[in-house]
Structures are given as C-alpha cells and as structure tokens.
Amino acid sequence: MSPFYASNEWADPNIYFNVAKGMLNGKTLYTEIFDHKGPFIFFIYGIGYFISNTSFFGMFLIQIINWTILLIFVYLTAKLYLNQAFSFIISIIFSLFLMKLIKAGGSAEEFILTWECISLYYFIKFFKKDNLSVHPPIYMLIHGCLCSMTLLTKINLVMFWFFPLLFIFISILWNKNFKNFFLNVTYFIVGCLIIFSPVIFYLYSHNALKEAYNIYIVLNSKYSQISSVQSTFLLLLKRITFLFIDSCSLLVFPTIGLFYFSIKYIKSKIASLSIILSGISFYITIFMAPMFQYYYPIPFLVYDVLGLIGLFLYLQKYISYHYSVYPLIVIAIISVFLGLSLRLLTNTWVEARILKHDKYLTENLRDVLIKEKDPTLLNLGFGLGNSLFTTCNIVPNVKYFIKPNLSYRIYPQLRDEQSSYIKDKKTQFIILPRRVYKDGIRNSYIHVEKTDEFDYYYNLPTLKENYNLIMIDTIKNRIDENNLEIYYLYKIKNP
C-alpha cells in the first residue's frame, strides 16, 4: 500500500479497489460488478479511491489509521494489567506477528483484526470488574458497530463476538438487572443499525438486495460447504499443522492467552470460559474452510494479545523495570528494521525508477495496455492480472471482469457470462493466466497447472475467432510462494 512501493500487485486489494472504482463510476455492486465478499470492504476501498483514484495512496492513509487504532487498543488492553513500558513492548511485538502473516497489505482480515482488538479491550475491561451485573451500554453500542462491520465483510468471523456477548447478556439477566439488559440490547441494535442502515439503503435504492443476498449469503455458503461432520473433523485435525505457519503467533501465544491468562487473570469463571469458547470456535471457523490461504488466520492473532499479557505478567515477577522513554525508542527503531526485514522489501521506487531492475511482475503487460486510449480488460483468472485494472486505471466495463476462485460446479453463471463477453467482443483485451508450481524439495519448477478452467478458455473457439494472442509473459510471483505464472494476453481482432 505504501507509496514507497512502485505497485501492489496482490490480487485481493486490487479486486476490492477496482470493484469500489466501478461503484464510484456508476456501477451497482453485485448486479453490475461482481465479487463475493461482503459489501462493507468495498465501502472502505471506496473512500481510498475517493482520496486517490489512480493509486493505493488513499488506502495507504486508511491503513495507517487502521494500524494506529489497532496498536492503541493492543496497548490499552495490556495497560489494564501491566505498566506503560511492558504494554508498549507488547504492542510492538504484536505488530511484528502481524507483519509476518500479511502478504502485501490491505486484506479484509487486517481490518477485522482491528475491530476484534477494540472489542477485546472492552470485553476484558468489563470482565476485570468485581461487579458484572451492570454492563455499560456504550460498550454494547461499540460491539454492535464492530459486529455488523464484520458481518458485512466476512460473515463467519463474527463468531469471535458470540460467546463473550452471550455471557454478558446472561450475566445481566442472572442478576435480574432488567433495565440494564434492555439498555444493552437497545444499544447493541442501534450500533448494528448505524452500520447496516447506509449499506442496506445503498443496496435497496439500487435494486441489489436480492442479488446481494444470493451472492454474499447463498453463494458463499456453497463455497465453504463441507460434505460431512466426519470430513470436517478430519480437516480440522489436518489444519492443526497449519498453526505451524507461524507457530509462535498462531499456536504458542493463543494457547497462553486462552488457557493461562483467561483462567488465571479473569476473575469470573464463566467470563473466562466465554473467552476460551470464543477462541476454540474461532479456530474452527477459520480453519474449517475447504480452501485455505496462509493469511486467513490473521484475525486469530487477537488472542496473541492475551498471550503476550500473560507472558509479561509472569516475567514481571522476575524483571524490575523502571520506566524510561529512551529504551522504548530503541526498541521501536529496532522493530522497524525487523519489520522491514520480514517484508523482504522488493518492488520499491528505488529499484523500479533509479536502479532500473528488470520489470516487476505485470509491468510488461501493463506497457502494452497503456498504449491504447481507454482500454478495456477481462481477466479470466484471479491473481496478478487483477492489478492491471489499477496500474492502467481501467474502469471495469463488464460485471464479471475477473474470475475469483469459484468452480463451475459452484457458480456456473460466472464462466457462462465470461464466455458471452468473449463471443460479443465486450473487452479490447483478455488475460488468461496459468500457474507453474514449484517443487520445494528440488527447488525447481516442474509442474504446470492443468485445470478445466484454463483448458476451457484456451480452447474456446470464439476466443480464437475474435482475439489474437499478442503476448506471452512468464512472471515469478513474489507475492504468492514464488510460483511462476504464464500470462497469455489477447487483443480483439475487429472492434
């Protein structure tokens, strides 16, 4: 996202940005421009596009605000139990955990993590009290807003809130504080409505409510469906190994947070249980999906906050630290350099414009597209090709302008519509990607992806009739596991 980079070519932020671009150029979400994510992420990217419509600079500013809020609430949560110095150190360590898991920045999971950490602070602040019969309604207003933002972004991740909120409502009722219960329910609903109302109004006013439901709810339920309880259980056991993607942040500290901190430092046993159940159910929610990307567990880092607090509560018995700003400055500077090393800085403006290294990722393809005035593009895949809509400032002119990871069995309409675009010559250019997988043992590229989707489009008669293959470019994808990707660029024969 940073302007320090020449471009951000990761698929996810580019699809969000260009759907938002389409919306702000007159297209209606879901009915005229497609993605299967929830609508709220596109509103966030719409603000970024409004700030800068030719780059990610607007989203960079939003990301700075997002990360600042995130680390403030990590610090505030730690401050409930620890001194300023330890709380500051925890926020720095937490940021390093996050930087290790993100790809190129701007994922929906990063925003959701911030919303979770805000709610976590208010959960722990309440659970720390001796009297749990009265819950501040303003906290519930905040939870309502954050829940609905998550619900409208990635619906399954709302599970984080379920058990803590359930305990709070049960606790109030158990103590027969009916007035406080009514106020909290009301404030929670109001919080939800603050977020839901403008989104629902937009969809309703554009006659897109039905299509939004069909795509965001019905389609995603098919996309994430698992055949049986047995297969789900076996999948979850298998996915335990995925915790070792980063064993420290995904296994060690969540375990400390859920089973040491919650039991030892949350006074109410039921409140402690609500945090534990939240963590277990959240793990199941994240790791049960048939398809998995290694950035999916980013929201699970919320439990690292509790794990780090638990660790420092244990360490402070043996460490005597007197507050001084200078060591903290040194820690912050060291952390910046650690963070830079974790991100393996490539594709910077220094490389691209001063040192003039070999062209990065899709630059060769971009150079062909920008020669045309107001080019139009169809991406018959989901990957680096998404970035061409951003780098060439192309406003999508068809609904299915890219092909997300949805099989023909799950969503046949996608392929059928894209086939009709090719037949009707709807776009000037077409990109068709193919991936070459790397053999991790031999450290060589040995397996060319062969899929029904690629074969279907590559052999499609109307593609050969209406378009010329003008370029084949092989790209090393430095964002996604360094796989090689072959891109076939087609141009319309007779517009």
Q: Could you give phi then psi for residue 473, rounded to 5 degrees? A: -125, 130
Percent of the chain with pLDDT over 90: 62
Helix (H) / strand (E) element for 13: namely helix 11-24
The answer on 278 and 142 residing in a single domain is: yes
The answer on 264 and 371 residing in a single domain is: no
pLDDT band at 441 (very low <50, low <70, confident <90, very high): very low
Q: 144 Cβ partners below 8 Å, 6+ apart?
A: 187, 188, 189, 190, 191, 192, 193, 194
* In a domain? residue 258: yes
Query: CB–CB of 176/318 below 8 Å?
Result: no
pLDDT at 411 over 70: yes
Query: CB–CB of 475/484 below 8 Å?
Result: yes
At 72, is the secondary structure helix, strand, or coil?
helix
The answer on 392 and 316 residing in a single domain is: no
pLDDT at 324: 62
Between 129 and 324, the more confident residue is 129
At 361, is the secondary structure helix, strand, or coil?
coil
Six-digit token string for 104: 């190129």
Six-digit token string for 132: 């749990």
For the segment 295-318, what is each residue's pLDDT rounded down to a tens digit?
889 999 999 999 999 999 998 877
pLDDT at 103: 76
Q: Which of 96-105, 107-116, 212-221 has the lowest mean pLDDT?
A: 96-105
* In a domain? residue 127: yes
The answer on 92 and 143 residing in a single domain is: yes
Which residue matches tokens 């068809």?
398
Length of the chain as a residue count: 495
At 195, is the secondary structure helix, strand, or coil?
helix
pLDDT at 139 over 90: yes
Six-digit token string for 4: 């320090």
The answer on 390 and 251 residing in a single domain is: no
pLDDT band at 442 (very low <50, low <70, confident <90, very high): very low
Number of domains in the chain: 2
Q: Among candidates 465, 486, 229, 271, which has minimal Cα distance to 383?
A: 486
The answer on 211 and 256 residing in a single domain is: yes
pLDDT at 462: 97
* In a domain? residue 332: no
pLDDT at 37 over 70: yes
Q: Over the range 161-198, which residues count as b (16 or more CB within 10 Å of their CB) and which as e?
A: bbbbbebbbebbeeeebeebbebbeebbeebbeebbee
Degrees to nearest 5, angle at CA 260 with 254 and 263? 120
For the chain, give the mean pLDDT.
87
The answer on 405 and 268 residing in a single domain is: no
Indicate the residue among 278, 304, 323 that finishes a domain. 323
How many CA within 13 A on the CB side of residue 242? 21
pLDDT at 335: 61
For the segment 311-357, what is each residue's pLDDT rounded down to a tens digit?
999 988 777 665 566 666 666 666 665 555 555 555 555 455 555 55
For residue 379, give the DSSP letter.
E
The answer on 376 and 317 residing in a single domain is: no
pTM, two decimal places: 0.91
* In a domain? residue 335: no
The answer on 369 and 316 residing in a single domain is: no
Domain that residue 221 falls in:
36-323
pLDDT at 104: 77
The answer on 391 and 316 residing in a single domain is: no
For the segment 40-49, what is each residue's pLDDT rounded down to a tens digit?
999 999 999 9
pLDDT at 415: 95
Phi-psi bin for 361: left (phi > 0), alpha (psi -120 to 50), beta?
left
* In a domain? residue 105: yes
